[in-house]
Structure 1
Amino acid sequence: MRSVMTRPFLKMNGAGNDFVVVNALATPFSPTVEQVRAIADRQTGEGCDQLIAIEPSNSADAFMRVWNNDGTMVETCGNALRCVGWVLMESTGKDRVVIDTAGGPTVATRAPGGQVTVDMGVPRLDWQQVPLAEEMDTRGIELQVGPIDAPLLHTPGAVSMGNPHVVFFVGETPDDGFVRGSGSLVEHHPMFPEGVNVGFVHALSPDHIRLRVWERGAGLTKACGTGACAALVASARRGVTGRHATVDVDGGRLLIDWDEASDHVFMTGPVEVERTGALNL
């Protein structure tokens, strides 16, 4: 008979992007793909977009491991970084923590109103860094969705924020069906050997974006932190916005600043603890 291990967790969200967060600083946490899917299932499990483990690190306050709800492990997650940053700052009393990820280290700091700011680092803009399957100018890559002579979407920007993003510019905010249909089609396009997160930017003004995102391995979510950063970078490179913008997502509002002096992208947004619980593995 298999023994059952119980692991406490926090259910958290950042602008509606929700997580099951497990403290693995003292006891390792290595769920199988099937276990990740079971935990993330909104009907029979705890329900979440991503499963997060806070692990020890030799070079940072902690290492954040991220699984999407389909069981795949991914490089990083911007909204989860704010949540993990908040957990670490609350537990240590610090106002600044360093969080390592598979996409590289980041710094989280306290912001006014109980919010958290994360330094997402320098955006990676070379085609090999995204990565793309072939050399292209990432300000507008050769990709379209729909008929050749009248595409519904075309010439998106491509950016890596530690994970790959493609950003389409649209004249109005797309509905769920459009995001699902187009996003799922582009996510596994051969142009993106590691898959891609798909953003849809409706620019409301030079400092205000409405964003919807189809996340690689997670689908349509209420918010995507790295997606908001990629949207601002892609928009600024095309002259659609400046280097600072408010980004409205389905679950709330994020403030994104692409600092000209450092070239780093800073994301500020809310953190919410929904509840506590225990996983039976």
Structure 2
Amino acid sequence: MKIDVTKCHGSGNDFLLLDEVGKAYDFTDEDRRALTLTLCNRETGPGADGILFVLESDRCDAMMRVFNSDGSEASMCGNGLRCVGRYVCEKIGKDDIMVETLKADLHVSKEEDLYDGIPTYNVEISPVLFDLSSLPMNGHGEKLIDEKVEGLPTERAFTALAVPNPHLIAVVDRDVLSGDEQKNISEYLNGSNPICPDGVNVSYVTIMDKGAIFVRTYERGVGFTNACGTAMSASTLVTCLLGYNEKGVAVDVYNPGGKVRVVVNERTDGSYFMELIGNATYVYQATIQWDPAFPNRYDWEAKKELDEHVAYRQLEEHAASLVKEKVFL
């Protein structure tokens, strides 16, 4: 069958976007997993951190399903939601939409450009859950806020929350990023372990200035990525809870793939939601041939390169220079 795909990225977190609406693909979830494993392989396929599947929704403007590069399904993806949000907004001619995800219906709106010539979207990140059963995380009571995790080979203090993807976040000095601590802890928690049996996203956060942080994330199902939208949102919330930043004020969040802005909002009932504001950049559009009967094979039918990455590269270079100055990676 012929399949149309768009290569896109949010903060360098790259995806293949595939619209199933009105198409005769008739994918099963096994088809989606097989296609993801084939196309996201960076050695034998086009390569990506995952595939964003756009489907019809009976209550929103569209539904988004996200399959990670290892074939697992994520409940949400903030960077991916910006890309899907742009795609759906442009497709139906709106600047303000609702997108159904596995655990929540989320608001997406077009925003003023984050940087010259960069399509920018604001996406809602919620719900925010601190109950450890929602990750799940075992052996540490009901909540974990800036505390040591028993069973990990470190005295590091972490905060655990789900948004709704599970996250474990530590605020660290910049010299910690040059070592292997984050890698070792992340690999342990995403293998067979008694603490986070379903795995967890692990982020290390460095305070650059008031209103500016750097976040590096080991993403469950992927590994270290250029950026993770829900991790950047959750990390910003943690810095607000710990007094480094303020709720209701935009925070510049730098990452290995560029930068976004995050605003932490508190509702009257004490719950939180974040606004994740950043790019939704298209790299190319293509048509491939793929047969579910031979899932490991694919062929290019056509490919059209786009030039949006040129503008984003300027933002990336600007962000990298600030990170080098403040974080010394």
Q: TM-score higher than 0.5 here?
A: yes
In the alignment, what sits opposite 1:75?
Answer: 75
Check the 8 A contact 2:127/2:164 in 1, yes or no: no
In the alignment, what sits opposite 1:222?
Answer: 226
Unaligned runs of 5+ in 1: none
Residue number among 131, 135, 155 corresponding to 1:130 in the alignment: 135
Q: Output aligned runs, 1:21-60, within 5 Å.
A: 21-27=17-23, 28-30=26-28, 31-60=31-60
Check the 8 A contact 1:122/1:265 in 2, yes or no: no
Check the 8 A contact 2:86/2:280 in 1, yes or no: yes
Q: Output aligned runs, 1:1-281, within 5 Å.
A: 5-27=1-23, 28-30=26-28, 31-113=31-113, 114-134=119-139, 135-143=141-149, 147=153, 151=154, 154-172=156-174, 174-175=177-178, 177-188=180-191, 189-243=193-247, 244=249, 245-261=251-267, 263-281=272-290
In the alignment, what sits opposite 2:295?
Answer: none
Tell me: CA distance 1:84–1:144, structure 2 relative to 1, closer, same or farther (3 Å).
same
Q: Secondary structure at the match of 2:145?
A: coil
| Deviation by residue 1:111-147 (Cα, 9 ceiling, x = unmatched) | 0013100011241122222332242432134416875
Q: Which amino acid is 1:267 matched to?
A: L
CA–CA separation in structure 2 for the residues paired with 1:47 and 1:160? 28
Q: Which amino acid is 1:258 matched to?
A: V
Report the alpha carbon displacement of residue 109 of structure 1 after superposing the two structures with TM. 0.1
Tell me: CA distance 1:145–1:211, structure 2 relative to 1, closer, same or farther (3 Å).
farther
The structure number with the bigger radius of gyration is 2
CA–CA separation in structure 1 for the residues paired with 2:252 and 2:145? 21
CA–CA separation in structure 2 for the residues paired with 1:193 and 1:185? 10
Report the alpha carbon displacement of residue 177 of structure 1 after superposing the two structures with TM. 4.9
| Deviation by residue 1:148-196 (Cα, 9 ceiling, x = unmatched) | xxx3x52200111111000012101614855433321233442223211
Supply the RMSD in Å over aligned alpha carbons: 1.9
CA–CA separation in structure 2 for the residues paired with 1:102 and 1:214? 22
Q: Which amino acid is 2:276 matched to?
A: M
Tell me: CA distance 1:213–1:51, structure 2 relative to 1, closer, same or farther (3 Å).
same
Report the alpha carbon displacement of residue 44 of structure 1 after superposing the two structures with TM. 1.1
Q: Which runs of 4+ in 1 moved over 6 A?
A: none
| Deviation by residue 1:59-104 (Cα, 9 ceiling, x = unmatched) | 1111101110011111010000000000011111101111111131
Q: Secondary structure at the match of 1:128?
A: helix
Between the aligned residues of both structures, percent identity stands at: 25
Q: Which amino acid is 2:130 matched to?
A: L
Q: Secondary structure at the match of 2:16?
A: strand
After TM superposition, the score normalised by the length of structure 1 is: 0.90
Report the alpha carbon displacement of residue 52 of structure 1 after superposing the two structures with TM. 1.0
